[in-house]
Amino acid sequence: MPRKPQQQRAKATVDSIVEAGFICLGRYGIEGSTTRHIADVAGISVGSLYEYFANKQEVMDAMYQRVVADVVAMIQPLTPKLVKMDIREAVRTLLYEFRELLTRDDGRYLKYAGQAVNIAHRDNLEPINKILMDLVVQYVMHHPEVMKMQNIPVMSYIVINGGMFSVIRHLGETSPMITFDQLAEGLVDMVGHIVDGEMRKAEKA
114 and 171, same domain (yes or no): yes
Q: Using one digit for the tens of pLDDT, what is the confidence trace for 42-77?
A: 999 999 999 999 999 999 989 988 988 999 999 999
pLDDT on residue 202: 73
Per-residue pLDDT band for 138 (boundaries 50, 70, 90) equals very high
Last residue of a domain, one of 54, 72, 99: 54
Q: Are residues 158 and 190 in the same domain?
A: yes
* Span 153-164, average pLDDT: 83
Q: How confident is the model at residue 120 (pLDDT cuts 50, 70, 90)?
A: very low
Angle between helices 126-142 and 56-82 (to 10 degrees): 10
119 near 67, Cβ under 8 Å? Answer: no
Whole-model pTM: value is: 0.84
Identify whether residues 71 and 28 lie together within a single domain.
no
pLDDT at residue 17 is higher than 90 = yes
Shared domain check, 83 and 165: yes
Q: Which pLDDT value is given to residue 189?
A: 94
Same domain, 36 and 12: yes
End-to-end CA distance of the chain: 63
Domain count, the chain: 2
Q: Which of 29, 54, 79 is the last residue of a domain?
A: 54
Asked, for residue 194, whether it belongs to a domain, the answer is yes
Helices (H), the chain: 8-32, 35-42, 46-50, 56-82, 87-115, 126-142, 152-172, 180-204
Does residue 59 belong to any structural domain of this protein? no
* Residue 87 pLDDT > 60: yes
77 domain residue, yes or no: yes
When comparing pLDDT for 122 and 112, which is higher?
Answer: 112
Same domain, 11 and 99: no
Same domain, 34 and 118: no
Same domain, 82 and 18: no
Domain that holds residue 37: 1-54
